[in-house]
């Protein structure tokens, strides 16, 4: 690995950075590294290692202290060589993006939120986790939206229970014309104000459980203990099953 003279490198915390000194391998070269004009071995808290005979400097970027200019100095029997690489720490911040759609179309009952994007110094979107230690811009969240009157609409109550305990009956409900105003007041209007909308059903059929009734069959013959035939009525109790249709 060799770094060009004057190279600029942008890194993020946690990145492993390797900087190469562009010199040919030689046993006669002595290579030294400097961070901000100070020998790296004398820089407090600078944990590093050199590879390939000192020609590569490797370290993990942990904080802002690793930003700055790095130089390598190589000496040989021909002439000394000095090159430098400028390391910049990547910065991130929250940016206002756009607002979410309003949660409702009218009536001042809706809300919407500002969305935020995490971007780098080049205004490129990055993972939001990189901005976790940064403060988001102060905005009014959530915001009221669609502050205008709603058109008149039909409003319904819940369906009543079936009017018949058995057999055919009906469910009923109340139908009214309502309007939600921009100040959130709800007005009850004449039915004509909702005439342009299809009116919901106010009544619908229902079926209760099967009904039961007494049915009398024709007279039968019963022989008593005196062997006399005496006509007695024979009555049975059975449910009357009808063919019922649910509308």
Q: What is the DSSP string of 30-50?
A: EEEEEETTEEGGGSTT--EEE
Report if residue 24 sits inside a domain: yes
Question: pLDDT averaged over consecutive 10-residue blocks of the chain (247 residues)?
Answer: 61 77 73 83 78 83 70 67 65 88 82 90 87 86 82 94 89 94 90 89 88 76 55 48 40
Residue 170 has a pLDDT of 93
Q: Do 98 and 133 reside in the same domain of the chain?
A: yes
Residue 107 has a pLDDT of 80
Report if residue 182 sits inside a domain: yes
Residue 231 has a pLDDT of 54
The residue from 144, 167, 186 where one domain ends is 144
Residue 236 has a pLDDT of 46
Report if residue 229 sits inside a domain: no
Report if residue 218 sits inside a domain: no
Give the model confidence (pLDDT) of 64-73 as tens digits. Answer: 667 777 888 8
Domain with residue 51: its CATH number is 2.60.40.10
Q: Do 105 and 47 reside in the same domain of the chain?
A: no
Backbone angles phi, psi at 95, to 5 degrees: -130, 135
Q: Do 11 and 58 reside in the same domain of the chain?
A: yes
Q: Do 19 and 48 reside in the same domain of the chain?
A: yes
Report if residue 231 sits inside a domain: no
Q: Do 129 and 185 reside in the same domain of the chain?
A: no
- Cα atoms found within 13 Å of the Cα of residue 67, Cβ hemisphere only: 10
Report if residue 15 sits inside a domain: yes
Residue 177 has a pLDDT of 95
Retrieve residue 21's tokens: 């000194």
Give the model confidence (pLDDT) of 138-162 as tens digits. Answer: 888 888 876 788 899 999 999 999 9
Range of the domain at 127: 92-144
Rounded Cα–Cα distance for residues 144 and 183 (Å): 12
Report if residue 241 sits inside a domain: no
Residue 117 has a pLDDT of 94
Q: How many domains does the chain have?
A: 3
Q: Do 102 and 53 reside in the same domain of the chain?
A: no
Retrieve residue 201's tokens: 């059903």
Whether the upstream peptide bond of residue 15 has omega within 30° of 0, thus cis, is: no
Contact 160, 171 (CB under 8 A): yes
């Amino acid at each position: 690995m060799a770094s060009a003279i004057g190279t600029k490198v942008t890194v993020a915390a946690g990145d492993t950075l390797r900087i190469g000194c562009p010199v040919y391998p030689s046993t006669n070269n002595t290579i030294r590294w400097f961070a901000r004009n100070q020998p790296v071995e004398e820089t407090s808290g600078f944990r590093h290692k050199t590879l390939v005979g000192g020609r590569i400097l490797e370290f993990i970027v942990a904080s802002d202290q690793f930003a700055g200019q790095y130089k390598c100095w190589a000496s040989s029997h021909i002439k000394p060589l000095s090159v430098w690489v400028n390391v910049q720490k990547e910065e991130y911040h929250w940016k206002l993006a756009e607002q979410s759609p309003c949660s409702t179309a009218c009536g001042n009952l809706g809300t919407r939120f500002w969305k935020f994007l995490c971007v780098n110094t080049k205004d490129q979107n990055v993972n939001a986790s990189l901005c976790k230690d940064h403060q988001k811009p102060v905005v009014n969240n959530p915001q009221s939206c669609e502050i205008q009157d709603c058109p008149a609409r039909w409003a319904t109550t819940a369906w009543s229970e079936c009017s018949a305990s058995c057999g055919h009956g009906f469910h009923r409900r109340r139908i009214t014309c309502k309007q939600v105003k921009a100040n959130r007041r709800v007005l009850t209007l004449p039915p004509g104000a909702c005439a342009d909308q299809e009116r919901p059903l106010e009544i619908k059929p229902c079926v209760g459980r099967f009904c039961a009734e007494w049915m009398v069959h024709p007279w039968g013959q019963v022989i008593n203990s005196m062997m006399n035939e005496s006509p007695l009525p024979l009555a049975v109790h059975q449910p009357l099953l009808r063919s019922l249709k649910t509308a």
